[in-house]
Amino acid sequence: MADKGPSVLDDVLLQPYWDAATKGKLLLKHCTACGKNHYYPRPICPHCFSDKTEWLETKGEGTIYSWSVERRANPPYSIAYVTLPEGVTILSSIVDCDLNKLAIGQKVKLGFTEHDGKPAPVFRPA
Ligand SMILES: [Zn+2]
């Protein structure tokens, strides 16, 4: 993988995230101080600024909150916000689907694709 400099997800604190992603599992952070979840994972809770955060494995389910299709690309691809039952909405992509049939509220399930040599969460129609 080419060195593109530091990124927030390259931080050593996020090694559990990468280990899980390699196994096809998506982790969030859960804050035991305020009870809220967040993504992307951070060592400090963005809701209450507590450092009492722990890893939480998602169910791998989601619902399309909003989406767009980049039709000028070859092949065209989607960009979508997907809301998880764990209460977070993440920016991702819907793959292996008819891009003309995506819909807000559509149920999707988690998968991973490789992006810049690392596993990236994507979703497929459920
Ligand atoms: Zn918190």
On the CB side of 60, CA atoms within 13 Å amount to: 11
Distance 54 CA to ligand 1 centre (A): 11
The count of structural domains within the chain is 1
Do the domain assignments include residue 46?
A: yes
Do the domain assignments include residue 121?
A: yes
Distance 19 CA to ligand 1 centre (A): 24
Do the domain assignments include residue 3?
A: no
pLDDT digits (tens, 9 = 90+) for 74-92: 999 999 999 999 999 999 9
Range of the domain at 57: 8-125
pLDDT digits (tens, 9 = 90+) for 9-59: 556 788 999 999 999 999 999 999 999 999 999 889 999 999 999 999 999
Do the domain assignments include residue 2?
A: no
pLDDT digits (tens, 9 = 90+) for 55-75: 999 999 999 999 999 999 999
Q: Is the peptide bond before 40 cis (omega within 30 degrees of 0)?
A: yes
119 near 22, Cβ under 8 Å?
yes
User: Could you tell me the pTM of the whole model?
Assistant: 0.86
pLDDT at 8: 56
Distance 35 CA to ligand 1 centre (A): 6
CATH of the domain at 72: 2.40.50.840
